[in-house]
């Protein structure tokens, strides 16, 4: 389709560490002659790794939402909050802006990542030629947003450190926050292990 | 190889080194497997931790919050309220509670649930901590092992929880008084337990109160222990002065029960669990010997019984024998009078050994040991009921059963029911009669004639007095004046500078001198007795017998 040639079409392969371009030997176990790094045409097992990490992240996303992430106690009134209940409480208690931010960061972003990465993976696997530039942009967006979806973990960590007034006011992290952090880390790893070049691969190409 | 790579030429791109590496299965799938294991383990853990789900019904869900209110046993959280909903008929709320796995044995029959809220009662304040922490559901587990999932929550915390050791006893009383669940039980004024529950007897004739005495004090409850209502203030004015008796201020407000063993020898073996006792009204009646079965007697009085009230004592020879329970009026058509029928309840066992002996005697005689027969014998000996004044100030009457030596004979029928005891006019009535007699005697005294006589006598007296004033007194006055004059002249005569006194002094001087001359003469005659005959000798030169001459001369010259 594309008029421009690909490295594989030209029989070239580049080292992703030192950038040396060498001839593609078209066999397994190629090593960069300059720096000794393994050479890959695409990221190794990109599909498998991305899928695996994505699935793991999704599995962990369930306890992250079911288990409470934060315990707030003020004047003996102990309150355990999950992400959703926290959002609802913020909304009900008159901070809808904060509620929207937390909802976006903790619910919307991870879910979008799952959705986007799955779409990218499926479409790339099928070598779909549909909306390739948009998909590439989507991927960049996912990579960019990934760093910021730890908001909840940061909030809990910060509150735990700041709000420690004994009986009067107390914030403590609960197991949910660990699962949430793991989910975020795993989605980030998943998006990193996805090779965006796969979006541009045509049928008949090999990874 | 390195040369090739370092100096690439156009078209001659370096060939990558090929190392054959053993590539196994992608290890990345371990990550989701691990995640799945974690997730599954969480689920399994949650499933394992999930204990029984129970439903407790409360009247109100006040203070309860779904997903928040804990269920605690000894301050350990064993479950959580999951859901609160109204019952179908809206009469109560149903609270769904998820118990922990470890609290499985709490879902058994006999377990009691209640909501701990701040409560302020007369006995004190409880649940203050829940003001800040919010209400929670308290649990008391029972003995039963039978599983149960539907519970009816208590409205008030139970005063006695299952884990407290001690024993419970049942007290029977005619009414509850000021007792309530949680009212204290005192032994020697130390709180040793509390009222656990109470209920109306099935026949509605009394109240059964369950008390719980904590260990180790429960061993002080013996078979012969007496319980009494320690509520209120007991003021008694006796020979020892004013006595104010109360257990504690709390009992005055909230009521309480006290118990003690009676004085003297008694059965001190510990009472069994749930043993029944009678609850007396006060300590004095509790400590009195047991009354035994009551007997109803009736008395018919023909005179006014002003001052006799229901509850007035009935005394047998001064021993408290019972009390008046009713006073009713009757009408006797024959005599056109209004006799008063007084009903009383008496306790023959209060007479102690006398009663035993009488019963024994009646049995020996072949009579039945009924009170009416025993009384019949006593009536024949003059037993009569009298209404006597117990208190002169208030005029309160009491009924006295006494033997009157000259009581009129009465017909006594021992088979009449209820037992009727013949009466005699009371001491107060006798007093009235005597007073009436005195009044009539006084009336017989002729006060009129006495008065007339007295009047004439007084008139005579008046006349006499006038005579005395007019005639006798002036004369007396004159006489007194004469006497005063006489006394005045006598006084003048006797005064130191009166002529009489002076003459008397001079005379006395003369007498003294004469005496001295006589002494000189007698001395001279003693020495010269012959002088009587021969006359006086011529004086020696030195010893001039001047005194004699002078005395003579003075004697001659002075007068």
What separation in angstroms does the CA of B330 have from each of A119, B295, B306? 110, 22, 16
Least confident of A31-40, B427-436, B459-468, B511-520: B427-436
Considering only CB atoms, A30 lies closest to which of B2, B16, B26, namely B16
Do residues B42 and A51 lie in contact, with contact meaning Cβ atoms separated by under 8 Å? Answer: no
| Buried-state track A165-201, b at ≥16 Cβ within 10 A, e below 16 | eeeeebbebeebbbbbbbbbbbbbbbbebbbbbbbbb
Alpha-carbon dihedral B119, B122, B125, B131, rounded to 10 degrees: 30
Cβ neighbours of B24 in A, within 8 Å:
none
Six-digit token pair at B179? 């007792």
DSSP of B171-189: EEESS-TT--TT-EEEETT
Considering only CB atoms, A25 lies closest to which of B18, B26, B68, namely B18
Least confident of A114-123, A169-178, B75-84, B410-419: B410-419
Could you tell me which chain B residue has the CA closest to the CA of A182? B35
Considering only CB atoms, B16 lies closest to which of A25, A56, A182, namely A25
Could you tell me which chain A residue has the CA closest to the CA of B6? A34
Alpha carbons B442 and B291: distance in angstroms, whole number: 51
Alpha carbons B217 and B200: distance in angstroms, whole number: 27
At residue B100, what are phi and psi to the nearest 5 degrees?
-70, 160
pLDDT tens column, B7-49: 444 556 777 777 665 555 667 788 888 888 988 998 898 888 7
Q: What average pLDDT score do residues B227-254 get?
A: 67
Cβ neighbours of B77 in A, within 8 Å:
none
Confidence of residue B253 (pLDDT cuts 50, 70, 90): low
* Residue position matching structure tokens 């009663």: B355
Decide if pLDDT at A101 tops 50. Answer: yes
Chain Cα centroid distance, residue B239: 13
Could you tell me the sign of the dihedral formed by the alpha carbons of B58, B62, B66, B68, in that order? negative
Q: How far is A45 from chain B (nearest CA, A)?
A: 8
Q: What average pLDDT score do residues B302-312 get?
A: 82
Cβ neighbours of B9 in A, within 8 Å:
none
Confidence of residue B515 (pLDDT cuts 50, 70, 90): very high
Question: Quick one: pLDDT at residue A159?
Answer: 83
Most confident among A29-43, A118-132, A138-152, B501-515 (mean pLDDT): B501-515
Cβ neighbours of A28 in B, within 8 Å:
18, 20-21, 23
Question: Quick one: pLDDT at residue B429?
Answer: 67
Q: What average pLDDT score do residues B293-311 get?
A: 84
Cβ neighbours of A45 in B, within 8 Å:
26, 28
Question: Quick one: pLDDT at residue B525?
Answer: 87
Do residues A108 and A65 lie in contact, with contact meaning Cβ atoms separated by under 8 Å? Answer: no
Confidence of residue A157 (pLDDT cuts 50, 70, 90): confident
Decide if pLDDT at B337 tops 90. Answer: no
User: Quick check: B16 and A32 CB within 8 A?
Assistant: yes
If phi > 0 it is left, if psi is from -120 to 50 it is alpha, else beta; for residue B211 that is beta
Interface of A with B (CB under 8 A): 12-13, 20-25, 27-34, 36, 39, 45, 48-49, 52-53, 55-57, 59-60, 62-63, 67, 75-79, 182, 186, 193
Of the candidates B346, B343, B269, the one whose C-alpha atom is nearest the C-alpha of residue B305 is B343
Cβ neighbours of A36 in B, within 8 Å:
17
Percent of chain A with pLDDT over 70: 93
Q: What average pLDDT score do residues B151-165 get?
A: 80
Cβ neighbours of A33 in B, within 8 Å:
1-2, 4-5, 14-17
Other CB atoms within a 10 A radius of the CB of residue B342 amount to 26
Considering only CB atoms, A30 lies closest to which of B4, B18, B29, namely B18
On average, the pLDDT of chain A sits at 82
Q: How far is B6 from chain A (nearest CA, A)?
A: 7
Cβ neighbours of B28 in A, within 8 Å:
45, 48-49, 52-53, 193
Considering only CB atoms, B1 lies closest to which of A33, A45, A77, namely A33
Structure-model confidence comparison of residues B13 and B526, the more confident one: B526
Alpha carbons B342 and B422: distance in angstroms, whole number: 11
Q: How far is B4 from chain A (nearest CA, A)?
A: 8
pLDDT tens column, B125-135: 777 777 777 78
Q: How far is B117 from chain A (nearest CA, A)?
A: 14
């Amino acid at each position: 389709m594309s008029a421009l040639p690909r490295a594989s079409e030209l029989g070239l392969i580049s080292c992703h560490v030192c950038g040396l371009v060498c001839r593609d030997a078209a066999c397994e176990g190629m090593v960069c002659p300059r720096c000794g790094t393994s050479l890959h045409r695409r990221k190794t097992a990109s599909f498998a790794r991305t899928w695996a990490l994505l699935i793991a992240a999704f599995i962990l996303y369930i306890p992250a939402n079911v288990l409470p992430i934060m315990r707030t106690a003020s004047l003996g009134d102990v309150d355990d909050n999950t992400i959703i209940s926290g959002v609802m409480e913020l909304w009900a208690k008159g901070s809808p802006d904060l509620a929207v931010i937390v909802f976006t960061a903790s619910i919307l972003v991870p879910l979008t990542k799952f959705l986007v990465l799955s779409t990218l993976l499926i479409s790339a696997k099928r070598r779909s030629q549909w909306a390739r530039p948009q998909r590439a942009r989507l991927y960049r967006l996912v990579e960019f947003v990934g760093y910021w979806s730890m908001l909840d973990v940061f909030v809990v960590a910060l509150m735990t450190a700041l709000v420690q007034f004994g009986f009067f006011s107390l914030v403590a992290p609960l197991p949910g926050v660990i699962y949430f952090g793991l989910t975020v880390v795993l989605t980030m790893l998943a998006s990193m292990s996805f090779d965006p070049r796969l979006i541009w691969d045509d049928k008949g190409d090999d990874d | 190889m390195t040369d090739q790579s370092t100096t690439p030429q156009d078209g001659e791109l370096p060939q990558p080194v090929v190392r054959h590496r053993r590539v196994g299965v992608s290890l990345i799938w371990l990550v989701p497997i691990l995640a799945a294991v974690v997730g599954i383990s969480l689920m399994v853990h949650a499933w394992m931790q999930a204990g029984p789900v129970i439903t407790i019904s409360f009247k109100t869900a006040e203070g309860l919050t779904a997903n928040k209110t804990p269920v605690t046993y000894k301050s350990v959280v064993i479950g959580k309220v999951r859901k609160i909903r109204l019952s179908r008929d809206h009469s109560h709320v149903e609270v769904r509670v998820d118990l922990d796995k470890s609290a499985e044995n709490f879902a058994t029959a006999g377990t009691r649930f209640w909501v701990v809220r701040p409560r302020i009662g007369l006995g004190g304040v409880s649940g203050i901590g829940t003001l800040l922490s919010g209400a929670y559901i308290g649990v008391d587990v029972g003995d039963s092992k039978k599983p149960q999932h539907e519970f009816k929550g208590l409205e008030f915390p139970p005063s006695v929880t299952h884990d407290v050791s001690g024993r419970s006893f049942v007290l029977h009383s005619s009414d509850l008084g000021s007792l309530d669940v949680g009212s204290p039980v005192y032994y020697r004024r130390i709180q040793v337990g509390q009222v656990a529950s109470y209920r109306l007897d099935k026949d509605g004739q009394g109240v059964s109160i369950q008390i719980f005495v904590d260990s180790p004090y429960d061993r002080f409850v013996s078979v012969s222990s007496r319980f009494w209502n320690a509520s209120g203030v007991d003021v008694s004015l006796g020979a020892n002065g004013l006595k104010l008796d109360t257990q504690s201020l709390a009992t005055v407000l909230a009521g309480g029960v006290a118990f003690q063993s009676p004085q003297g020898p008694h059965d001190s073996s510990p009472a069994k669990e749930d043993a029944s006792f009678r609850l007396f009204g006060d300590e004095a009646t509790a400590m009195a010997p047991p009354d035994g079965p009551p007997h109803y007697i009736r008395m018919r009085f023909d005179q006014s019984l002003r001052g006799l009230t229901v509850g007035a004592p009935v005394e047998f020879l001064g021993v408290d024998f019972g009390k008046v329970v009713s006073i009713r009026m009757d009408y006797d058509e024959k005599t056109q009078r209004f006799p008063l029928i007084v009903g009383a309840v008496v306790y023959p066992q209060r007479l102690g050994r006398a009663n035993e002996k009488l019963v024994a005697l009646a049995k020996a005689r072949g009579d039945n040991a009924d009170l009416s027969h025993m009384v019949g014998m006593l009536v024949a000996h003059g037993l009569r009921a009298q209404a006597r004044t117990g208190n002169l100030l208030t005029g309160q009457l009491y009924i006295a059963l006494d033997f009157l030596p000259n009581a009129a004979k009465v017909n006594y029928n021992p088979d009449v029911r209820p037992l009727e005891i013949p009466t005699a006019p009371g001491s107060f009535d006798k007093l009235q009669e005597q007073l009436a007699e005195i009044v009539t005697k006084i009336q017989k005294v002729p006060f009129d004639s006495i008065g007339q006589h007295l009047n004439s006598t007084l008139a005579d007296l008046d006349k006499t007095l006038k005579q005395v004033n007019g005639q006798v007194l002036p004369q007396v006055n004159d006489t007194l004046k004469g006497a005063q004059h006489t006394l005045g002249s006598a006084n003048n005569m006797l005064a130191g500078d009166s002529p009489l006194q002076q003459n008397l002094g001079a005379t006395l001087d003369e007498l003294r001198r004469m005496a001295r001359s006589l002494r000189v003469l007698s001395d001279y005659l003693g020495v010269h007795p012959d002088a009587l005959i021969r006359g006086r000798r011529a004086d020696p030169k030195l010893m001039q017998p001047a005194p004699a001459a002078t005395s003579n001369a003075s004697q001659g010259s002075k007068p």
